[in-house]
Amino acid sequence: MITVHHLDNSRSQRILWLLEELEIPYDIRFYKRDPKTMMAPKSLRTIHPLGKAPVITDTDGNVTLAESGAIIEYIIDKYGNGRLAPARDTPEYIRFIYWLHYAEGSAMPPLLLKLIFGLLPRRAPMLLRPFAFLIACGAQSRLINPQVRLHMDYWERSLSENEWFAGQDFTAADVQMSFPLETAAARAGATDRRPHVAAFLRRIHDRPAYQRALLRGGKYAYANAGSPPAS
């Protein structure tokens, strides 16, 4: 039995969604962020030394595994039975692997920097806040925002070529890519003048398995981010 160690408003939501898509039984152990630091609680370190989410434990094989991409590959390989992954030795499989690892390796770092520099002025000591504000604004306007836009435009072009990231079929790569697109929609206007990004978000948010994962996982701040109802 798989247990998902689930931190609120985190990447672990997409692991719940993946398991719902595959209709695999699982348990959830819930963790709440510290209200002041917004960090994961120290109790998560008893499961994995880094104390990050997602983490899964699987009693079938005595496995403890962190990192979204690794978790998704493990679940697909062990429990997928060919579902949610293209056939190997196909162009779609190459794209599948690429997007599965691109999500955290390339897409999330500039989004994380945008979050950090957005918080910097508020977290700085009172006397230093004007300087922190100037530094944060400069870093975002000159370095971070251009990189974020570069990635968002890349998603738009990719989704204009295929309905899903790996091709014409929905795969676990779309589950993995959901978090960068949702956070970018909430923080960086990813859906502004990017109709294919907006359509992708509508499609994933309308999936029954996505909705079931929300019911099981609890409040998720990025649910429906950037995906208003189709007109």
- Calculate what percentage of the chain has a pLDDT beyond 70: 97
Give pLDDT tens digits for 118-171.
Answer: 877 777 787 778 877 787 788 888 899 999 999 999 999 999 999 999 999 999
Which residues face 63 on adjacent strands?
58
Residues contacting 111, CB < 8 A, separation 6+: 148, 180, 183, 184, 187, 188
DSSP string of 73-126?
Answer: HHHHHHH-TTTTSPPTTSHHHHHHHHHHHHIIIIIHHHHHHHHHHHHHHHHS-G
**Structural domains in the chain, sorted by start:** 2-79 (3.40.30.10), 91-207 (1.20.1050.10)
pLDDT above 70 (res 56): yes
- Calculate what percentage of the chain has a pLDDT beyond 90: 76
Q: What is the mean pLDDT of the chain?
A: 92
Residues contacting 218, CB < 8 A, separation 6+: 8, 30
pLDDT value of position 116: 81
pLDDT value of position 226: 62
pLDDT above 50 (res 230): no
224 sits in the region (left: phi over 0; alpha: psi -120 to 50; else beta) called left
- Helices 145-161 and 108-123 pack at an angle, to 10 degrees, of 150
The answer to which of 181-185, 194-198, 225-229 has the lowest mean pLDDT is: 225-229
* Among 26, 28, 18, residue whose Cα is nearest residue 77: 18
Question: Is the overall model pTM greater than 0.85, yes or no?
Answer: yes
Give pLDDT tens digits for 21-43.
Answer: 999 999 999 999 888 777 899 99
Give pLDDT tens digits for 83-113.
Answer: 999 999 999 999 999 999 999 999 999 999 9
pLDDT value of position 66: 97
Q: Tell me the two tokens of residue 210.
A: 């996505």
Residue 225 pLDDT level (bands cut at 50, 70, 90): low
- The answer to whether the beta carbons of residues 210 and 174 sit under 8 Å apart is no
- The answer to whether the beta carbons of residues 165 and 95 sit under 8 Å apart is yes
